[in-house]
Structure 1
Amino acid sequence: MTSTRHQFHRGVLKAPKRVGILTLPLSINYGGIMQAVALSHYLSGKGYEVTLLDKRRPMAWWQRAALVLLEKIPFQNIKRIRQTRQTRDLHSPFIRRYIPNQTPILRSERALSRAVESYDLDTIIVGSDQVWRMDYLQDDGYKEFFLSFVPSQSIRRIAYAASFGTGEWPHESRTPIVSELLHRFHAVSVREESGVKLCKTSFGVDHCEHVLDPTLLIDPEFYKAASGAGEKGEDKIFLTYILDAPDRRPVIDAIANELPVEYQLRSLVLKQASPPDLPTWLRSFRDADFVMTDSYHGTIFSLIFEKPFIAVANTGRGSDRFESLLDQLDLGHRLIALSEAHRIPELVHEPIDFREIRQKIAQKRLISAAFLDRALGL
């Protein structure tokens, strides 16, 4: 894949040695953290020095001061600020272990540009996760996720598995600037098939590829090691991992009624006083025997650890990503709506041929890795 073919990037490209990753802030989103860790692991394995660009939303000095106070004052959790900080501190050692190079917090386009220069980065990769979903971004900060801050045309701009979050683009006022910025990219890939269509129809980007989420880009053995020690007990485990609790109970009960009596219900709960750390989160999927989840990355890690699962469509967070992933693996029927509880008995008793799934993921992994390697100039 060359810049001539794409007609995006112009100028002399350096051979990449130092790569910066830009993604949504790594704080309390377990899947968001794991996709960044996976991408960093892949790049490091190719011999690149990886730096995480720690972009956060702009704040006035008094806002930052108020935030620090709310993070530290005990016996309160206004707007979940204190718990968010505690969860971020919980995850920080894991993130530092696998992404040791990180910039200081960057709150402006100018700060991002200076970081690219001071760290002498020759490639910037934006992705994965919903980095192009406008309602997740702040004001004019959306331009930075289309790499508006990159100071030189000699620096590679790559989008890997970026996501718009939905299959629609209702932001016509932002179309011209996004289109202009996307045409500066050396290579563009997205996480959902709908994103390929959006790039073409909304922004005129014809050469956009559909690739796997970074968590599926690396060897599953990485996650087994990262999950830490600990032997599973003899009990069979029915794991539930639910991000949006309302109305999910009937589905849980219907699945539990179909599973043998020796299955013990275990819920992986994030919004609690003592949330699990990332190794514990990974072990929950590793040790499960059946999984019900409304989480995209919960679905992915059910696949990685080869666990029978039922995914419940999470329309509020975006169902395109579920459909795009599962349809590639001929598992789209395992994604159900809340109104489809009548399908649960059949799905619980239907085996999944994980040997076949493993082969399909391996094929998609080769395609995804080939895109990224070409984009990097390998």
Structure 2
Amino acid sequence: MKIGILTQPLHNNYGGLLQCYALQTMLQRMGHEAWVLQRIHRYEQNCWRSKAEIALKNVVKRLIGREVCKRISEEQKQTVGRHTHYFTEKYINPRTEPIYSTHRLKQMAYDLGIEAYVVGSDQVWRPMYSPCITNYFIDFDCRSQVKRIAYAASFGVDHWEYTHHDTECCAALVKHFDAVSVREASGVDLCKRYLGVKAQHVLDPTLLLDRADYERLVANEHETQRDGSLFCYILDKAANKQQVIESAAKATALQPFYTMPELESTIANVTRDIEACVFPAVTAWLRSFMDAKMVVTDSFHGCVFSIIFNKPFWVIGNAGRGMARFKSLLSQFGLEERMISVQNIATTNWQKPIDWQRVNARRDALRVEALQFLQKSLTL
């Protein structure tokens, strides 16, 4: 079967890239031809929310000046993301060219002869992150014979962020899906309460592959051993998070190391020192988990890959990016106690082990359920 995958735009986010790679790889192993439909942000006339965003942006420009609203150039983006783009080019195939409009998305799907859509994973159902939220409920294809499946679709949060207009549109569209699954337990309730559909709670796609699958990627790229033993994967830097890292390092005598750009990709930084803004390779990031003796992170997929590689980890809750994801993941594996904050670092037992035999057994059982959901949904 020819399947079109609709996921978040593929940029420099390690978790976003690897969840797409994992979902596509699993569908291919099931015998399907899985295409990633690269829906990308660009303001368009037939996605009503974008017009409002354009108006808001114009107001901001008038109020605080155009200089503040500048973005880095396409050439600079290519430099900053040269290693992550390499991973996409080599390992996420087949995929379409970038698609900037609903009209082009429809045309591309028809030209490819897409027979089924799999929407997922990551925060594909979170409006604030979406190029056009209704596209992720398949508003562009009215063919009744086409299968529509949501696999581990995520709202990111446990409260409703949709406008009344979005809710009405998406609730009508999702009724045509053959099967719906979500990544967070809270998503089951959101689907029932606001969209009027029953959803199944399943694993993030990255957890469908084995540790050996990721180790092969690292071996393919000949990644060398990382310097350090305490892998700190922090998306949103803050002084309180540095306190957590310093406390963990002191208590365990482990050496912190990072696999992220030295500088954020702002206009000022890329102009002054663009090389310091370059994202390390995806496989270097994976190698970091392999070499770590412990992980401290504020990232959902930082937690996921700690579990995959069986590395003791501590997660600093990242409310801005959505806490529901963390709580749901940790509760799935009985690891709620791995969530910490600066307020409780003084009483944290940094040496406390994780029962990996129990965690791995739980993961195996959940993986069987998830794969059964995918197989059944595609053969109905």
Query: Scaled by the length of structure 1, what TM-score is found?
Result: 0.85
Alpha-carbon distance between aligned partners in 1 of 2:152 and 2:336, rounded to the nearest angstrom: 20
Letter in 2 for 1:84: K
Letter in 1 for 2:129: Y
Shift, 1:253, TM fit: 1.1
Identical positions, percent = 36
CA deviation string 1:220-242 (max 9, x = no partner): 21101012235647x76011110
Alpha-carbon distance between aligned partners in 1 of 2:369 and 2:135, rounded to the nearest angstrom: 28
How many residues align? The count is: 339
Task: Name structure 1 gaps, 5 residues minimum.
Answer: 1-16, 64-76
On the 8 A contact 2:26/2:208 being kept in 1, the answer is: yes
User: What's the counterpart of residue 45 of structure 1?
Assistant: 29
CA-atom RMSD, angstroms?
A: 1.9
Q: Which residue among 351, 356, 359 is the counterpart of 1:357?
A: 359
Q: What secondary structure is seen at the aligned counterpart in 2 of 1:55? A: coil
Shift, 1:281, TM fit: 0.9
On the 8 A contact 1:53/1:102 being kept in 2, the answer is: yes
Q: What secondary structure is seen at the aligned counterpart in 1 of 2:22? A: helix
Which is worse superposed, 51-60 or 319-328? 51-60
CA deviation string 1:64-110 (max 9, x = no partner): xxxxxxxxxxxxx9534454332443223322332221112211111
* 1:131-280 equivalences in 2 (<5 Å): 131-138=124-131, 141-170=132-161, 171-205=163-197, 207-228=198-219, 229-230=222-223, 232=225, 237-246=229-238, 247-260=240-253, 263-270=254-261, 271=264, 272-280=276-284
Alpha-carbon distance between aligned partners in 2 of 1:232 and 1:192, rounded to the nearest angstrom: 34
1:282 aligns with 2:282: no
Alpha-carbon distance between aligned partners in 1 of 2:297 and 2:72, rounded to the nearest angstrom: 24
User: What's the counterpart of residue 74 of structure 1?
Assistant: none
On the 8 A contact 1:306/1:354 being kept in 2, the answer is: yes
User: What's the counterpart of residue 114 of structure 1?
Assistant: 107
CA deviation string 1:140-169 (max 9, x = no partner): x21101111124111101111111111111
Q: What secondary structure is seen at the aligned counterpart in 1 of 2:148? A: strand
Shift, 1:59, TM fit: 4.6
Alpha-carbon distance between aligned partners in 2 of 1:148 and 1:236, rounded to the nearest angstrom: 48
On the 8 A contact 1:40/1:98 being kept in 2, the answer is: no
On the 8 A contact 2:259/2:284 being kept in 1, the answer is: no
Q: What secondary structure is seen at the aligned counterpart in 2 of 1:129? A: coil
CA deviation string 1:331-363 (max 9, x = no partner): 01101233222342x1x1111111211111111
CA deviation string 1:181-223 (max 9, x = no partner): 1101111000000100000011111x21000000001122110
User: What's the counterpart of residue 50 of structure 2?
Assistant: none
Which is worse superposed, 51-60 or 247-256? 51-60
User: What's the counterpart of residue 14 of structure 1?
Assistant: none
Alpha-carbon distance between aligned partners in 2 of 1:159 and 1:174, rounded to the nearest angstrom: 17
Alpha-carbon distance between aligned partners in 2 of 1:204 and 1:151, rounded to the nearest angstrom: 20
Letter in 2 for 1:255: A
Query: Scaled by the length of structure 2, what TM-score is found?
Result: 0.85
Task: Name structure 2 gaps, 5 residues minimum.
Answer: 45-53, 55-68, 265-275
On the 8 A contact 2:82/2:278 being kept in 1, the answer is: no
Cα 1:355–1:236 change in 2 (3 A) is farther
Q: Which residue among 359, 366, 378 is the counterpart of 1:376?
A: 378
On the 8 A contact 2:80/2:277 being kept in 1, the answer is: no
User: What's the counterpart of residue 101 of structure 1?
Assistant: 94
